[in-house]
Amino acid sequence: MPRLTSFLFMLLILMPFSGRAEEIVLGMSTALSGPTSELGQAMRDGVELGLERINQEGGINGRRLRLVVLDDGYEPASTAPNMRRLIEEEKVLAIIGNVGTPTAIASLPLIREHRVLYFAPFTGAGLLRQTPPERYVINFRASYGEEIAAMVRALVENAGLAPEEIAFFTQRDGYGDAGFAGGVAALRRYGLVDERNILHVRYPRNTLAVENALADILLAEQTPRAIIMVGAYAPCAKFIRLARHAGLDSLMLNVSFVGGDFLARALGPEIDGVVVTQVVPHPRQQELPLVAEFRQDIKNYKQDMVPSFVALEGYIAVRLLARALAGMDGKPTREGLVEALEALGEFDLGLGRTLHLGPEHHQASDQVWPTVLRAGELEPFDCADIVELVPEGS
| pLDDT at residue 11 greater than cutoff 90 | no
pLDDT score recorded for residue 351: 97
H/E segment holding residue 77: helix 76-84
Cα separation, 353 vs 142, in Å, equals 13
Mean pLDDT over the full length of the chain: 94
pLDDT tens per residue, range 319-373: 999 999 999 999 999 999 999 999 999 999 999 999 999 999 999 999 999 999 9
Cα separation, 162 vs 168, in Å, equals 14
pLDDT score recorded for residue 239: 98
pLDDT score recorded for residue 18: 42
Q: Which residues, 6+ apart, have CB-to-CB distance to 4 below 8 Å?
A: none
Longest CA–CA separation in the chain, Å = 96
Contact 137, 107 (CB under 8 A): no
- Give the confidence band of 205 by pLDDT, cuts at 50, 70, 90: very high
Evaluated on CA atoms 392, 167, 261, 264, the torsion sign reads: negative
Cα separation, 230 vs 57, in Å, equals 39
pLDDT score recorded for residue 10: 53
pLDDT tens per residue, range 264-315: 999 999 999 999 999 999 999 999 999 999 999 999 999 999 999 999 999 9
- Give the confidence band of 16 by pLDDT, cuts at 50, 70, 90: very low
Cα 121–Cα 127–Cα 130 angle in degrees, nearest 5: 105
Cα separation, 211 vs 14, in Å, equals 60
pLDDT tens per residue, range 244-261: 999 999 999 999 999 999
Residue 17 burial by CB count (10 A; 0-12/13-18/19+): exposed, middle or buried? exposed
Q: Coil, strand, or helix at residue 175? A: helix
Q: What is the DSSP letter of 279?
A: S
Cis omega before residue 132 (within 30°)? yes
| pLDDT at residue 191 greater than cutoff 70 | yes
| pLDDT at residue 33 greater than cutoff 90 | yes
Q: What is the DSSP letter of 229?
A: E
- Give the confidence band of 394 by pLDDT, cuts at 50, 70, 90: low
Cα separation, 284 vs 321, in Å, equals 23
pLDDT tens per residue, range 46-85: 999 999 999 999 999 999 999 999 999 999 999 999 999 9
pLDDT tens per residue, range 82-110: 999 999 999 999 999 999 999 999 999 99
Cα–Cα distances in angstroms (integers) from residue 314 to residues 23, 90, 139, 185, in the given order = 20, 21, 12, 29
Nearest by Cα to 161 from 242, 229, 222, 241:
222
Instruction: List, in order of start, the domains of the chain with CATH numbers.
Output: 2-142+284-363 (3.40.50.2300), 144-278+370-388 (3.40.50.2300)
Contact 107, 83 (CB under 8 A): yes
- Give the confidence band of 6 by pLDDT, cuts at 50, 70, 90: low
Nearest by Cα to 151 from 188, 177, 186, 192:
186
The alpha carbon of residue 216 and the mean position of all alpha carbons in its chain are separated, in whole angstroms, by 29
